Structure 1
């Protein structure tokens, strides 16, 4: 079971494949996302033990050269983040509460913000979308009572402030049930 996530974003597709290969050879990690993203970049997200992810990120950094845009290691990541990244979250029948949306200018900060959000409040993180077909941006969708969603969104904003990559946040109290069905 993965306990950490490692993220590498590169400005070259070729360097992205090379870095991904180096990561897989360096440690016992699993690929969560490995693909081209908007603006001609390459994103690799891996999961594994803290030490394995650390080793894999070191290998990627070593081969990436000047193509490395960002590298991030999130140890002890909340399990909800894995499910939301893979699109396997099932909302309960009582999901028509508040909806929180957090949007970033790039992929990496949204994953870190999602982890902070779910560790702060009793919310369900049901979608984390990174970069594909949205101009390199990232966004996440949260569900819960209004106070919890507000707390989670505030925590996410604090994390994103560090990178300066925040686009927008919105909390919709008593969101329409159809809204949740359209975006799961």
Structure 2
């Protein structure tokens, strides 16, 4: 299976990307091909809502979203990786998702398998409520097939993350993905 991992942290070696690395290791050991797109350092402008694309593209903006679009339309699965920012996905990932608008029909018709990996400093039981609801709604709307969520609470720093079960859980999620 061709898996696209979209990382969105401004910290290349931060906690969310650490969990993504564990997922990738598990997926590659199972024989999947993994491509990583670093949305945290890409140039992706926000959707203008200009309707030029008419939800079927192309988008009038010429930036790194053209690369993401091509990768997503070739992928069998996408993994959204983000630090938790005020109980939602990072602005970098949100910009990518908002730009799905220019190819919503094509992307939703794929019935793409997806997963979500999130890290947060906080460990309260309600910390991930809003981001998981957002992701589940996105899956419902886009006809994505949710393969799982790693909701890494108490993962505010790399050392904190390394002391949790979430590295193992991300690895196991990568291992269990089937074509």
- State the TM-score, normalized to the length of structure 1: 0.33
- Pick the structure with greater CA Rg: 1
Structure holding more strand per residue: 1
Q: Which structure's relative contact order is higher, taking Cα pairs within 8 Å and 6+ residues apart?
A: 2
Structure 2-normalised TM-score?
A: 0.33
